[in-house]
């Protein structure tokens, strides 16, 4: 009997050593898998409501009277996916400096069916140019918590241990907000399968994009199973 107990103990010990940590009924791991399945089963990158960053960077800017006054050239995001500012080329206005960064809230910017609309007329925008130029650093680059959305494309996504699990394939927007980060997964047997995660889930620090180890493993396993 003691011999049998010893054999079972050794077998269980071997099983626990060879079984990955994420597979040991970790609630956080299975919660992450469930969330990923809920998000990705309908492929958000194919939904009409989700706008990829490359399409958003070319959307039109309309004034308060629905007159086209410019075009978006870059989107400045905060770390939660909210748009902090827009880099706009006001090529429809007669001004010498037509490329400017406007504060999203101060200009009352809101998404509409054919672009983005501001709370000012074209004449009022022209009058505001000196103030816009004076505050351009504050709107775009003074805040190191904000970053350009298009510059995220191609960046590596890592777990906390520093292992690369994939690269950013896209940023998906809905109603003027970044909803999802689309990751092309390259770890764990995956070969570029794209998995969307909530934009606010990773930690963004400089050019580094990091997922906690449990969530990163769930992303890798989900991709490998597709």
Q: Is residue 204 in some structural domain?
A: yes
Question: Does residue 205 belong to any structural domain of this protein?
Answer: yes
Residue corresponding to tokens 């896209």: 170
What share of residues in the chain are helix, strand, coil (percent, to 5)?
A: 35, 30, 35
Query: Do 137 and 200 lie in a common domain?
Result: no
Residues 122, 78, single domain; the answer is yes
pTM: 0.83
Render each residue's pLDDT in the chain as its tens digit; 226 residues. Answer: 444 334 333 333 333 334 344 444 589 999 999 999 999 999 999 999 999 999 999 999 999 999 999 999 999 999 999 999 999 999 999 888 889 999 999 999 999 998 999 999 999 999 998 888 777 655 544 556 788 999 999 999 999 999 999 999 999 999 999 999 999 999 998 889 999 999 999 999 988 999 999 999 999 999 999 8
103-to-88, 93, 175, 176 alpha-carbon distances in Å: 11, 18, 17, 14
Question: Do 174 and 201 fall within a single domain?
Answer: yes
Q: Looking at the DSSP assignment, which residues form a beta bridge with residue 85?
A: 76, 103
When divided into structural domains, the chain yields a total of 2
Domain residues for the domain of 178 are 27-49+150-224
Q: Which three-class secondary structure state does DSSP give residue 67?
A: coil
- Tell whether 10 is covered by a domain: no
Shared domain for 103 and 183, answered yes or no, is no
**Same domain membership, residue 202 and residue 142:** no
Give the end of a domain, one of 148, 163, 189: 148
């Amino acid at each position: 009997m003691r011999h049998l107990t010893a054999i079972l103990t050794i077998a269980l010990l071997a099983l626990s050593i060879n079984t990955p940590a994420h597979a040991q009924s970790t609630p956080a791991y299975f919660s992450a898998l469930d969330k990923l399945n809920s998000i990705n089963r309908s492929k958000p990158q194919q939904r009409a409501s989700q706008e990829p960053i490359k399409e958003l960077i070319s959307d039109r800017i309309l004034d308060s009277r629905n007159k086209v006054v410019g075009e978006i050239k870059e989107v400045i995001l905060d770390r939660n996916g909210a748009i902090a500012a827009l880099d706009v080329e006001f090529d429809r206005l007669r001004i010498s400096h037509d490329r400017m960064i406007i504060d999203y809230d101060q200009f009352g910017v809101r998404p509409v069916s054919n672009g983005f609309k501001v709370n000012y007329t074209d004449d009022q925008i022209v009058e505001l140019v000196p103030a816009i130029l004076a505050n351009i650093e504050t709107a775009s680059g003074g805040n190191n918590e904000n970053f350009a959305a298009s510059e995220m494309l191609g960046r590596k996504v890592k777990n906390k241990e520093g292992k690369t699990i994939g690269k950013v394939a896209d940023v998906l927007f809905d109603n003027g907000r970044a909803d999802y980060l689309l990751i092309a997964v390259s770890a764990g047997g995956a070969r570029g399968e794209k998995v969307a995660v909530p934009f606010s889930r990773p930690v963004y620090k400089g050019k580094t994009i990091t997922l906690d180890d449990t969530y990163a493993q769930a992303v890798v396993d989900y991709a490998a199973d597709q």
